[in-house]
Amino acid sequence: MNFEEVRYLITRLFREHIRKHLPRIFIALILSIIVAGSTSGIAWLLDPAVKKIFIDQDKTYAFIIPILIIVAFTSKGLSLYFARINIITVSEEVAGQLQKKIANTILFSDIQTLENRHSGKYISNIMFDTHQVQNFVSTGVLNIMKDSFTVISLIALMFYQNWKLALFAILMIPFAGALSKSLAKKVGKAVGKAGESSGILASFLTEILKASKMIRIYQKEDKENHKAGLVVNDLIKKNIKIGSTMIRATPIMETLTGFMIAGFIVFSGKLIASGELGVNNFFSFLAAMMLAYQPIRSLATLNMVAYQGAAAFKRIGSVIDKKIDIVNDQNLPDLIVKKSNIEFSDVSFNYEKTKEKAVKNLNLKIPGNTMAAFVGHSGAGKSTIFNLIPRFYDPQSGSIKIDNQDTRQISLNSLRENLSLVSQDVILFDDTIKNNISYANEKATENEIKKACEFAAADEFIEKLPNKYDTFVGENGVKLSGGQKQRISIARAILKEAPIILLDEATSSLDAESEEIVQNAILNLTKNKTTLVIAHRMSTIHNADKIFVLNHGQIVDSGNHDYLIKNCETYKSLYQKQLK
């Protein structure tokens, strides 16, 4: 990143996230001025302390000056404490705002956008990048106020004591500025690489947690442990690079300071010998110069902190700035469902990373209160059709209508309100059974939840659990069997009472006994509903009113089971392969 880009990013960060906290920043500003005044007061008090106490041996000053020094240090300490409290509050709230924005993006983004980016990178944005921004706000904003005022007040004191020495002392400031500018770009580049490594590590950890059983069954623990070591070592190297670059200024600054103090002593000796500088002025000036060293060094590293924050904010911006194409437009009318007829007209769609269309010029009609099934080889376009109905994706051409209402011309919320989805990949939260089911309708009574479970054939196993409906299911239902999870998913769908049901291979991973129970539950779920079914097991769709046979994104034939067995070779082939 060049300086102009860093400036733009910092300006944007201020405008969008920091500016609203100006009252707290103003309080910190006033406190920073008090810190600067107290620091200068400490240095200035050494002048009368040396002259009045040590040279003139004035007993009154011997009592007053130590008290004033205590007051100055206390004032500095309290002011700095409250200034930091205010800035820490601002920085945490800014980081929190960014984390909320990232979470909002994840929750409202198009499904295709989320699927094109590894979940671990979002975790890195929330954990690593927002921390870098928080560090910039807490360190940078406070330091630029506190240290700037402190340096200005101390330099003013030095000029007050002796302008010749003051000119000599401020020679190190341009050296420090030039040094920080050269190091800042290196820090920004290193932070960018560390951010990428953090994303890779988060992605890797996410995958090994999901694949824990597979890793063990294939005995790949050592291999994955080796990969973990490589990923972690890469991040360690990047962080060491940042740290070593950040402290690279230290030996140079210390050497410069050594030269400055040595020259200062020689020059001061000549001024004292000529009578231009008193010993009391010398000690006061020396104290001011030494106190100025830390804030000058801090300001010198401010560029590096700014580059860190800007690089992190740039990565966050790439997430929160991405345009969301599928959004709920409140100005559009709500879907009015009467018969729940579904119609696809010349629908074509292809995924971003593939050139071939997943569905091509698709035309189909599904009458309300009927069951339509979709069969075909893997990649035929079955799941794509299911993803298009609730507008997880939008087709590139054509239209999808429910009761003659184009799904893109109605509010998104009202569309999804009338749909229920039961998938083979059941999603359960690490919560109680009751809360997982009531996720579909948080206002549902306990009686309604139990009734939904009865229809879903889930009440039988729930009642046998130690805490019944208050039993925690574990991460994604790990404490339940596949059939039990599926029945909870069906109970959730029943509780929603949507007129259109999407069943995505809901029984494909179940054993025969569980499948029979779940199939009976599905009958209760789909009664008097428009139902679309994807099924690998052809035996589960014998009773479908209409079966659509798909191949390479197109419908090759449609009809009931008996018709297709006689007239469709693709369907007949699929059916006979399962009988073998």
DSSP string, 49-82: IIIIIIIS--HHHHHHHHHHHHHHHHHHHHHHHH
- Mean pLDDT, residues 244-269: 74
> Do 450 and 495 contact (CB within 8 A), yes or no?
no
Map residue 141 onto helix, strand or coil: helix
Map residue 196 onto helix, strand or coil: helix
Map residue 543 onto helix, strand or coil: coil
Per mean pLDDT, which range of 15-29, 65-79, 207-221 is the poorest?
A: 207-221
State how far the Cα of 532 lies from the Cα of 534, in Å rounded to an integer. 7
HSE of 287, CA atoms in CB hemisphere, 13 A: 19
Q: What share of the chain is helix, strand, coil (3-state, %, to 5)?
A: 65, 10, 25
> Do 114 and 387 contact (CB within 8 A), yes or no?
no
> Do 308 and 153 contact (CB within 8 A), yes or no?
no
**Strands, E assignment, 350-462:** 359-366, 371-375, 397-402, 405-406, 419-423
Per mean pLDDT, which range of 131-145, 294-308, 455-469 is the poorest?
A: 294-308
Whether the pLDDT of residue 578 is over 70: the answer is no
> Where in the chain are the domains?
3-320, 429-497
Per mean pLDDT, which range of 37-41, 366-370, 457-461, 525-529 is the poorest?
A: 525-529
The pLDDT value given to residue 86? 92
> Do 456 and 525 contact (CB within 8 A), yes or no?
yes
pLDDT-derived band at 456, boundaries 50, 70, 90: confident
Higher pLDDT, 328 or 205: 328
The pLDDT value given to residue 510? 58
State how far the Cα of 99 lies from the Cα of 93, in Å rounded to an integer. 10
Q: At what angle do helices 302-320 and 172-210 cross, to 10 degrees?
A: 40
State how far the Cα of 517 lies from the Cα of 208, in Å rounded to an integer. 33
CATH of domain 429-497: 3.40.50.300
**CA 486: distance to chain centroid?**
30
The pLDDT tens digits of the residues spanning 81-90 come to: 999 999 999 9
The pLDDT tens digits of the residues spanning 119-173 come to: 777 787 888 888 889 988 888 888 888 888 988 898 888 888 888 888 877 776 6
The pLDDT value given to residue 28? 92
Q: What are the start-end ranges of the H helices in 109-171?
A: 111-115, 119-124, 130-135, 142-161, 163-169
C-alpha radius of gyration, the chain, whole number: 35
The pLDDT value given to residue 403? 92
> Do 84 and 142 contact (CB within 8 A), yes or no?
yes
- Mean pLDDT, residues 409-413: 90
The pLDDT tens digits of the residues spanning 47-59 come to: 788 777 777 777 7
Instruction: Locate 448 and state its tokens.
Output: 């309604």
Under CATH, which architecture does the 3-320 domain have?
Up-down Bundle (1.20)
pLDDT-derived band at 465, boundaries 50, 70, 90: confident
In 3D, which of 526, 528, 533 has the Cα closest to residue 508? 533
Would the pTM of this model clear 0.85, i.e. be above it?
A: no
